[in-house]
Amino acid sequence: MLQRGKREQAAGKLLQKVPELTSLNLEIRETRSNGLANDTQYIRRVVVEHAHALFEMPCSYSSCDNGGYDVTREILNALASRTARFEGECACRGSCGSEFCSRVLRYVATATYRTNAEVGA
């Protein structure tokens, strides 16, 4: 938790990076790399007024050690270009015993932005 807090502080606030952002939802699906069973799906509704500019998610596989996904760069790049809908994927960086974790996170993001006239208001 302490390390996460330090990373959030270093990342800064999301609205400082993308001031025209008004909403952001992430549809997340986590699967094994072979696409077989054990899917985890959820929607993450980002509270942009309070969110940090850090998009890290833990691996949900209980046997995964030090796993997780960091899609910060990809999401911030899409938001900076005011993309309304974008998607991506990321392999887990953890391990299960002596092997790499085989889980993959796929996301579909939808974002809304203020118009240029609203940003200046």
pLDDT tens-digit readout, 47-88:
999 999 999 999 988 899 999 999 999 999 999 999 999 999
Per-residue DSSP letter, 6: H
DSSP-assigned beta bridge partners for residue 89: 106
Asked if the model's pLDDT at residue 119 lies above 70, the reply is: no
pLDDT digits (tens, 9 = 90+) for 2-26: 787 788 888 899 999 999 999 999 9
* Residue 39 scores a pLDDT above 90: no
CA-to-CA dists, residue 21 to 10, 13, 45, 48, angstroms: 20, 12, 13, 7
pLDDT of residue 52: 95
- Average pLDDT score over the chain: 90
Residue 93, φ and ψ in degrees, nearest 5 = -95, 10
Question: Over 80: is that where the pLDDT of 117 sits?
Answer: no
Query: What pLDDT score does 37 carry?
Result: 58
